[in-house]
Amino acid sequence: MTTTYVLRGARPLGGDAADVVLADGVISQIAAPGTVDVPGGAEVVEIAAEGHVLLPGLVDLHTHLREPGREDAETVASGTRAAAAGGFTAVHAMANTSPVADTAGVVEQVWRLGQEAGWVDVHPVGAVTVGLGGERLAELGAMADSAARVRVFSDDGKCVHDPILMRRALEYVKAFDGVVAQHAQEPRLTEGAQMNEGVVSAEIGLAGWPAVAEEAIIARDVLLAEHVGSRLHVCHLSTAGSVEIVRWAKGRGIDVTAEVTPHHLILTDELARTYDPTYKVNPPLRTAADVEAVREGLADGTIDIVATDHAPHTREDKDCEWGAAAFGMTGLETALSVVQQTMVDTGRLTWADVARVLSANPARIGRIDAGPAAQGRPVAVGEPANLTLVDPAATRAVDGAAQATASGNTPFAGRDLPGRVVATFLRGRATVLDGAPVGPAADTRRLAARGGAR
């Protein structure tokens, strides 16, 4: 029997309070508080939601789930559990697994693991090149036609640096309305690089990662996308110059979209002075001026979405000297709070804007905004009940060891962040209630027995 949920006094997109009824996987009623018609005989679970903001379920276009191959750092089950805890109802799983997700067989494996876990919808991202090697195109058409119906392709972690190969990929994905998501990093300009190139890198003696290494690839690729008439998505944009290039390209009518990560909205390269490898990430943390530029780019629509680039690692891969440490940090469970702190609480975005950059736009870019399993839809009667209920007045101290992800490498450990995900619903089924995951019991037992990789 399907449970009916009544959210009393919830505020859709931060607006007026309403009672919202979820039944049979959809939003069945939205009415003034105390006036909803609850179906007779239904099991009703009431959530004290007065003052809580109701958003469409969040959609992440850039998640690393590590499975297959690095289950010691994360699994599809643990990563999607973390996603649900963070308010997400869909994630796109990056291709840099082992084996690489460059065939129909591997993307279907990841897709089925997501279905079995049941926390969120998992949409695999297919590799652009075989083995992420940058030498020949992967089976793009086969992955697109597979049960996973891949529409986003990326060699994330590596740049498709060969312009001829990049052009061919852009041409190929046009046949099925796909998009190439580029990791913009000119490899010859970043060889041996450890952090942002600038005053801090010079003072502390770490090899610098110049902004132009990102900007040069973006400039090249927007022109290639214009030339072939294809869609281009820029992953984890991080510099002021990159914002300006994307702004120029959009003004020219080029079909380009871009993402910024939560950590690039708030953290700067000054943190490298600690030599704490928690802050080692690709692309690197940039300057305060870059942080201001990406915030402005997100506010004015130049940057389309916020994507987590959730990158879990084992303790061994991060608890070491800076030079030997892996790049990356977790982000699924803190993304919404960082966006609230940097963009909503500062008046740069409304909660309706948050729904746009964390749900509607990523679903549209990933082409998962239509059909029976549509994501990123409005909070309206008849729409799928993929929803996130947030208490914006709450404050929480981040504890990496207490997160749902199997890895604890969060850059926000010990920090107080605003906002708390109170509940998450996937097609009307609760995956989080009262701030705690409530997914399949078997999965919960498996996670507890494994103990994670903290």
Distances (CA, A) of 188 to 8, 42, 96: 56, 62, 21
Is 309 among the catalytic positions? yes
Give yes or no for a contact between 407 and 314, defined as CB atoms under 8 angstroms apart.
yes
Q: Which amino acid is located at 274 in the chain?
A: T
Q: In what order do the strands lie in the sheet with 305-306?
A: 152-153, 179-182, 232-234, 256-260, 305-306
DSSP codes of every residue in 143-199: HHHSTT---EE--TTS----HHHHHHHHHHHGGGT-EEEE----GGGSTT--EESSH
Give yes or no for a contact between 307 and 61, defined as CB atoms under 8 angstroms apart.
yes
* C-alpha–C-alpha distance, residues 262 and 417, integer Å: 12
Q: What is the DSSP letter of 319?
A: S
Which residue is catalytic, options 60, 309, 317, 353?
309
- 347 forms beta bridges with none
* C-alpha–C-alpha distance, residues 398 and 338, integer Å: 11
Active site residue ranges: 309
